[in-house]
Amino acid sequence: MNKENLLKSFTELYGDVRPECFFAPGRVNLIGEHTDHEGGYVFPCAIAFGIYALAAVRPRDTVRLYSLNFDNNKIIEVPINNIKYDKANDWANYPLGVINIFERHGYKLPSGLDILFCGNLPEGAGLSSSAAIEVLTGRIINDLFNFNLDGVKIALYAQEAENDFVGMHCGIMDQFASSMGKKDNAVLLDCASLKYEYAPLNLGEYKIVITNSNMPHSLNNSAYNLRREQCEAALSDLQKVIKIKKLCELNLSEFKAVKDAVKSPEALKRARHAISENARTLQAVQALKAGDLKTFGELMNASHISLKDDYEVTIPELDILAELAWAQDGVAGSRMTGGGFGGCTVSIVKESCIDEFKKHVGEKYLVRTGRKADFYVTETADGARKILN
């Protein structure tokens, strides 16, 4: 990000006011997909790609928002006392939703805001641009109006905005990773209790490589909410024979003993994924702590297969990318990451093999799909923060 260019754009849009600068990272989930909404464990890390913002308090009781990432964009201006979901506001519903949720919880904005957003996360890639802009907005209003909320509470309000304002029934993982990420670490998060620990990413000679299928997804228009409903149906059936509040309270042996209570074959597969993925996540973290990258990678591969066969959220392009990565030298493991139905894979690749990985996977993906893949070798990052001058 060129801060001077961003400041110039801010001044052109909003006038000669000195704004504060903020950043919130995207995230990549190493393992633990579609377990967060079922009370399971996840293992994401914040990445160096994300969304920047310049923000300043304004005297009038309106919020003005602008993003440099969209063509033919315009300033979106909404009165603070009349913030409601409007399809015409498009991307701005995410930050507006956060403001709305803050106000619902009693954190009333005493004046208006001018915010300029600019991100370097690929749109629709499944790296949590929506969570980043939500957490970023929460961090902005928390800091500028001295609400003194901690990062966990900001993450929860950001999730609530996506659930209740935007209508996307996501779990807490994306917002938590963006808010609470820590450089050189991943976060093992128990989504049922919000207990978490940082696990050092001691990858040695390996790096995290994100491969963008360039098949964008819009989870709000996908089958994501249907998967949630199917999990809820499985839970409802299981609760008739065993006392649980969330699917991931069960381990695999317990699930096998009661799985016949689930009536729908689709719901059974969704539940099997969530419970087995939860077990894989805990095994993977233990393997990483023990320096066993081989086992960690094998569990990543198994995660992808479960997401393909049981949760059914992969698409042919993601399956091709994973299969090509598995066949490549120097790859410890690879899987789709994010909600699915498009987006990216995440691979653990030996640094000396990255160029060959990009070349061979890219060429074969183009031949098989007619699409170009983009590759990002990413570093981990700290969570949402104010950037000092």
Q: Classify 75 in phi/psi space as left (phi over 0), alpha (psi -120 to 50) or beta.
A: beta
**Has 174 been annotated as catalytic?**
yes
* DSSP string for 1-60: --HHHHHHHHHHHH-S---EEEEEEEEEEEE-TT-GGGT-EEEEEEEEEEEEEEEEEESS
Q: What share of the chain is helix, strand, coil (3-state, %, to 5)?
A: 45, 25, 30
Sign of the alpha-carbon torsion through 85, 342, 187, 281: positive
Give the C-alpha separation, 208 to 52, whole Å: 22
Give the C-alpha separation, 31 to 24, whole Å: 21
Q: Which two tokens stand for residue 208?
A: 């995290």
SS3 state at 237: helix
Could you give phi then psi for residue 8, rounded to 5 degrees?
Answer: -60, -45
Give the C-alpha separation, 2 to 380, whole Å: 20
Give the C-alpha separation, 280 to 282, whole Å: 6
Annotated catalytic residue within 114, 174, 237, 310: 174
Count of beta carbons in the 10 Å neighbourhood of residue 282 = 18
Distances, alpha carbon 48 to alpha carbons 85, 177, 230, 281, 286, in Å: 30, 12, 35, 23, 25
Count of beta carbons in the 10 Å neighbourhood of residue 371 = 14
Matching residue, tokens 């995207």: 26
Asked whether the beta carbons of 252 and 279 are under 8 A apart, the reply is yes
Give the C-alpha separation, 378 to 389, whole Å: 25
SS3 state at 276: helix
Active site residues: 174
